[in-house]
Amino acid sequence: MTDSSEGTGPDPARLYLPRRKVAFAGRRGTAVSAVSSVAVIALLVSVFFWAPGGANVRATFFSFHDMWVAFRGDPSKGLLSVGSGLITNIWMFLLSEVLVLAIGLLIAVARVSRSPVLAPFRVLATLYTDVFRGIPILLVVYIIGFGLPALSLGAISSQSPAVYGVTALTISYSAYVAEVYRAGINSVPHGQILAARSLGLTYAATMRRVVLPQAVRTVIPPLLNDFISMQKDTALVSTLGAIEATRAAQIYSSTVFNFSSYVVAALLFLVLTVPLTRYTDHLIARDRSRRLAGAS
């Protein structure tokens, strides 16, 4: 008797169980979800078989031969490897993530500062987040990637497209991440700041030892969310001429007139983002269970 239909409504205690435990309760539940999952997937896949253009789509999007050649590349035909293109994506987002974490934090701290001396920085930080959250990232990529070289300023103007890409991503995402940090900082109760200051801590020490540690922990899931988004946006750097996974796939597609290379690139991006997505979910679940435990 796992059903709670005998009462007037659902058992209140059941509502607090994590959803996974409810869905998989008992062997019958497992069997039902397995059958239903297989049925839904089979239905979705069957579209590729009964649709009039199904065979065409299978040949142009899911040809294993093309996927394999696109993944490996074929220098004799001028085809670049989608697999090694992904390495460019990986180092671009790793580098941008580190920079974004640092710069975003600086901007957030500047925005929440109260000292009159820091007023210009407050204004600048506000302006920065407004401007760069409002401009499409693709445009920032173009402006940096074609604008800086046009300046003819020695080293600044002679970097590789990937470096300009990292710069553009850092500029854009720092604005988003600064706002995430700021939300975290504002979520720390004001009383804690008052308490810390009354204990004799300076403003800087209060920030560093009391506010930020709590704020950062709160915002880790939304931060990771932004990072997943950034991993995908490394593909925009292809517009500057950098050969990353998307661009290698595009070259394959336009040379051979087959789209399977895009599917390979999509799968590779999934391999990158899914672990981070799962980890974010895990953190959110852990955080939630902690809070529920605290509440009871």
Partner 1 sequence: MRLTRLTLSAALVGAALTGVVAAAPSGAASTPSLASCKTSIKSQEHQKGYLTVATDSPAYTPWFVNNKPSNGKGYESAVAYAIAGALGISKSHVKWVVEPFDASYAPGPKPFDFDINEISYTADRAKAVSFSTSYYDVQQSIVAMKGTKIVKAHSPAQLRTYQYGDQIGTTGLAFINSYIKPTKPARVYNTLDEAVAALQEHLIDALVIDTPTGQYMASAQIVDKKNKPLAVQVGQFPSVGEHYGLLFQKGSPMVGCVDAAIAQLRHNGTLAQLTKKWLGIYTSVPLIKP
Nearer to partner 1, 113 or 255 (CB): 255
State in angstroms the smallest separation of the CB of 270 from partner 1. Answer: 23
State in angstroms the smallest separation of the CB of 89 from partner 1. Answer: 15
Q: Who's near 146: CB < 8 A, 6+ residues apart? A: 240
Neighbours of 119 (CB within 10 A): 11
**Inter-residue contact 244 to 163 (CB < 8 Å):** no
Q: Which residue has the tokens 């925009």?
A: 236
Q: How far apart are the C-alpha atoms of 105 and 182, rounded to whole Å?
A: 8
Collapsing DSSP to helix, strand or coil, 79 comes out as: strand
Closest CA to 225 of 183, 165, 167, 263: 183
Q: Which residues bind partner 1 (CB under 8 A)?
A: 53, 56-57, 59-61, 75-80, 146, 149-150, 157, 161, 238-243, 247, 250-251, 253-259
State in angstroms the smallest separation of the CB of 229 from partner 1. Answer: 22
Q: Is 19 exposed, middle or buried (0-12, 13-18, 19+ CB in 10 A)?
A: exposed
Nearer to partner 1, 182 or 247 (CB): 247
Q: Is 40 exposed, middle or buried (0-12, 13-18, 19+ CB in 10 A)?
A: exposed
Nearer to partner 1, 99 or 256 (CB): 256
Nearer to partner 1, 109 or 140 (CB): 140
State in angstroms the smallest separation of the CB of 39 from partner 1. Answer: 28
Nearer to partner 1, 82 or 185 (CB): 82
Which DSSP state fits 74?
B
Nearer to partner 1, 104 or 161 (CB): 161
State in angstroms the smallest separation of the CB of 137 from partner 1. Answer: 15
Closest CA to 112 of 221, 198, 211: 211
State in angstroms the smallest separation of the CB of 210 from partner 1. Answer: 48
